[in-house]
A and B are shown apart, each in its own frame.
Chain A
Amino acid sequence: AQSVAQPEDQVNVAEGNPLTVKCTYSVSGNPYLFWYVQYPNRGLQFLLKYITGDNLVKGSYGFEAEFNKSQTSFHLKKPSALVSDSALYFCAVRDPSNSGYALNFGKGTSLLVTP
């Protein structure tokens, strides 16, 4: 089955600094990768996805992600973090071995942006 790994449970960054939330994937064939964000007591919100094409994908709220095939990574980035970006971030991969192509999620990374 396709899977993703998020090696960091928590990432701390100061407001205004660049942020990176890491994700690596393990897939056979072409990867279909997604990032979601979950604010406290809220649902998952879609940020961006990589299907094919440019390795740098731009998404919502100023986030972008870089697809790196050689390193099997799909790291989420933002040039300047905001306190309001503090949330739980999930990387996910679409699993073509599952006939419904459901998303397989990583365990999540908690991002804390301090003023």
Chain B
Amino acid sequence: DSGVTQTPKHLITATGQRVTLRCSPRSGDLSVYWYQQSLDQGLQFLIQYYNGEERAKGNILERFSAQQFPDLHSELNLSSLELGDSALYFCASSVTSTLGNTIYFGEGSWLTVV
């Protein structure tokens, strides 16, 4: 158990809908990362927050957004969903965002868009 908690574990929704994925980082971790894993794209970095502020953006679509709240939990919002958004979405956290810090991953949220 990494200490990173993600909900829901599984989610099935229809095209055009909006979903929210939630993440609680490890106790004491200030940095949260979101990744998407799919068969064709592999593991893609989406976005990172550090202590409530956006720190870095990766390959995140404009239809997707995220935020980190004062209690440090984070939410990833996916809207106008398309079939191609079906993937495993990981949240990860680290104490800070320095190069040597280990990033710990949650179990992921499986999203199926039908």
Query: Which of chain A's residues have a CB closer than 8 A to the CB of B13?
Result: none
Query: Which of chain A's residues have a CB closer than 8 A to the CB of B8?
Result: none
Q: A46-B104, A90-B43 are in contact. Are A96 and B97 (CB under 8 A)?
A: no
* Docked-complex contact A49 and B102, CB < 8 angstroms: yes
Among B14-22, B50-58, B61-69, B71-79, the one that faces the other chain is B50-58
The distance from the CB of B108 to the nearest CB of chain A, in whole angstroms, is 5
* Docked-complex contact A94 and B99, CB < 8 angstroms: yes
Q: A43-B105, A44-B105, A51-B100 are in contact. Are A108 and B42 (CB under 8 A)?
A: yes
* Docked-complex contact B58 and A98, CB < 8 angstroms: yes
* Docked-complex contact A98 and B56, CB < 8 angstroms: yes
Alpha-carbon gap, A107 to B2, bound state (A) = 22
Q: Of B31, B97, B107, which is within 8 A of A43 by CB?
A: B107
* Docked-complex contact A104 and B45, CB < 8 angstroms: yes
* Docked-complex contact A36 and B99, CB < 8 angstroms: no
* Docked-complex contact A43 and B108, CB < 8 angstroms: yes
How many pairs, one residue from A and one from B, have CB atoms within 8 Å of each other in the complex? Answer: 62
Q: A100-B48, A103-B45 are in contact. Are A46 and B58 (CB under 8 A)?
A: no
Alpha-carbon gap, A98 to B106, bound state (A) = 22
- Contact mask B1-41 → A, CB, 8 Å, 1/0? 01010000000000000000000000000010100000000
Query: Which of chain A's residues have a CB closer than 8 A to the CB of B55?
Result: 99-100
From B50, which residue of chain A is reached at the shortest CB distance? A100
Query: Which of chain A's residues have a CB closer than 8 A to the CB of B48?
Result: 100, 102
The distance from the CB of A70 to the nearest CB of chain B, in whole angstroms, is 22
The distance from the CB of B10 to the nearest CB of chain A, in whole angstroms, is 10
- Contact mask A72-115 → B, CB, 8 Å, 1/0? 00000000000000000010001010111111111110000000
A32, A51, A103, A105: which has the most chain B beta carbons within 10 Å? Answer: A103
Interface residues of B (CB under 8 A from A): 2, 4, 31, 33, 42-43, 45, 48, 50, 55-56, 58, 90, 92, 97-108
Interface residues of A (CB under 8 A from B): 32, 34, 36, 42-46, 49, 51, 90, 94, 96, 98-108
